[in-house]
């Protein structure tokens, strides 16, 4: 079996509900979609969601990498030699994790389709469903409470609240959510690097009785020690997100005991193959793992879901990046019910109809 055809296209999508986090407001997303065709007619699909802050790439750079690198490298190659292909690509594109994730995803999709299995089963198949959080950006207290009630009514049992711009407003929102909506659901808070060490400690003191499940990336990605001190200060698990973008990051944070949890996103790690290594480091260090996402089409979310389902120590998911996208052609690759994601029984990442 050989790769005989490569094509890609850009998918620009508006968000039905733009959102604000500590360092930006997001109203649209651009995904680059890759299609690999093998000589037996099977196809593999991949998705890149470049982000200058998270992956260091633009959509134009990803498209250029396809044209300048893939089109001369992949034709005639055995798609099942994923380790070799990704090793060679990483040497050619060392600072292009979303590009690498897209290729990796398409290769794994081809492998699972050839095996006739959903990808999560091929990867290990530890579980067949996982609850996801749904994210609320930085909005007013009134809007926040309204969105929490709306999501709970729609069946979600895990709420992720964004903050990091105003310590007082953030703590007030957390406390009011518990006062008005109760404790019958999990509540996570993500500061997106918005706090200093002192502010992080002040925030955790203010919300001490709120039962937060996770405190995500409170301090700058460039200050590992601050992240570690927050982790030591609070009994609430502190999770590294922006601080962990490579396997070396995972090893460093784990070895220095600077975090309790890691957020693995396929786009920032460079795909499933590399993410499996990162997950192994986390497992060896006793760190809890969440699989997260960017503003990805359902194709990218499907890959994250299949990866999350494959390992016993991956117990948390934040895979809601597709929910507000307008015109996503990959809807239907998995099923969401009452806040729980269920993969398709079809081979690979699911049945694609475009």
Q: Which of 292, 314, 287 is nearest to 123 (CA)?
A: 314
Positions marked catalytic:
162, 190, 216, 241, 265
Structural contact between residues 33 and 3, judged by C-beta atoms closer than 8 angstroms: no
pLDDT at 354: 85
CATH 3.20.20.120 domain locations along the chain:
121-343
CATH 3.30.390.10 domain locations along the chain:
3-116
Q: Which of 182, 194, 255, 241 is nearest to 220 (CA)?
A: 194
What six digits make up the tokens of 272? Answer: 């499933």
Q: What's the fold here for domain 3-116?
A: Enolase-like; domain 1 (3.30.390)
Q: Give the contacts of 199 (CB within 8 A, at least 6 positions apart).
A: 167, 218
Identify the bridge partners of residue 29 per DSSP, sorted by sequence position: 13
- For the chain, which ranges sit under pLDDT 70? none
Give CATH for domain 121-343. Answer: 3.20.20.120
Residue 177, SS3? helix
Vertex 273: Cα angle to 296 and 227 (nearest 5)? 70
Alpha-carbon distance 353 to 209, whole Å?
Answer: 48
What six digits make up the tokens of 197? Answer: 């060490």
Going from the C-alpha of 228 to that of each of 14, 194, 196, 239, 288, the distances in angstroms are: 37, 16, 12, 10, 15
Helices (H), the chain: 59-65, 71-73, 82-92, 97-115, 119-123, 141-153, 167-181, 197-206, 224-233, 247-255, 266-269, 272-285, 298-309
Alpha-carbon distance 21 to 13, whole Å?
Answer: 19
Q: Which of 158, 101, 102 is nearest to 339 (CA)?
A: 158
Q: Dump the DSSP string for 91-127.
A: HHSTT-HHHHHHHHHHHHHHHHHHHTSBHHHHHT---
DSSP state, residue 62: H
How far out from the chain centre does Cα 321 lie?
Answer: 8
pTM of structure: 0.97
């Amino acid at each position: 079996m050989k790769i005989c055809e490569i094509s890609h296209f850009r998918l620009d999508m508006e968000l039905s509900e733009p959102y604000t986090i500590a360092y930006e407001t997001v109203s649209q997303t651009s995904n680059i979609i890759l299609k690999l065709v093998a000589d037996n007619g099977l196809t593999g699909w991949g998705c890149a969601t470049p982000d200058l802050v998270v992956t260091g790439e633009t959509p134009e750079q990803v498209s250029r990498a396809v044209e300048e690198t893939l089109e001369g490298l992949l034709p005639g190659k055995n798609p099942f030699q994923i380790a070799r292909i990704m090793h060679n690509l990483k040497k050619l594109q060392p600072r292009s994790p979303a590009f690498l994730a897209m290729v990796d995803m398409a290769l794994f999709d081809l492998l699972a389709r050839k095996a006739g299995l959903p990808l999560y089963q091929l990867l290990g198949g530890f579980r067949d469903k996982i609850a996801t959080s749904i994210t609320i950006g930085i909005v007013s207290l009134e809007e926040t409470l309204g969105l929490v009630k709306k999501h709970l009514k729609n069946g979600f049992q895990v709420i992720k609240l964004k903050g990091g711009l105003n310590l007082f407003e953030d703590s007030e929102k957390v406390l009011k959510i518990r006062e008005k909506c109760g404790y019958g659901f999990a509540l996570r808070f993500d500061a997106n690097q918005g706090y200093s060490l002192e502010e992080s400690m002040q925030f955790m003191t203010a919300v001490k009785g709120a039962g937060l499940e996770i405190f995500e990336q409170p301090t700058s990605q460039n200050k590992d020690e601050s992240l570690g001190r927050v982790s030591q200060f609070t009994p609430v698990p502190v999770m590294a997100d922006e601080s962990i973008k490579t396997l070396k990051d995972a090893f460093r944070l784990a070895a220095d005991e600077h975090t309790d949890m890691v957020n693995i996103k396929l786009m920032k790690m460079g795909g499933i193959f590399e993410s499996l290594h990162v997950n192994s480091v986390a497992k060896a260090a006793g760190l809890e793992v969440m699989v997260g996402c960017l503003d990805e089409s359902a194709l990218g979310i499907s890959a994250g879901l299949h990866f999350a389902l494959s390992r016993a120590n991956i117990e948390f998911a934040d895979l809601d990046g597709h929910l507000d996208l307008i015109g996503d052609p990959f809807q239907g690759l998995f099923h969401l019910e009452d806040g729980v994601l269920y993969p398709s029984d079809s081979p690979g990442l699911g049945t694609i109809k475009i």
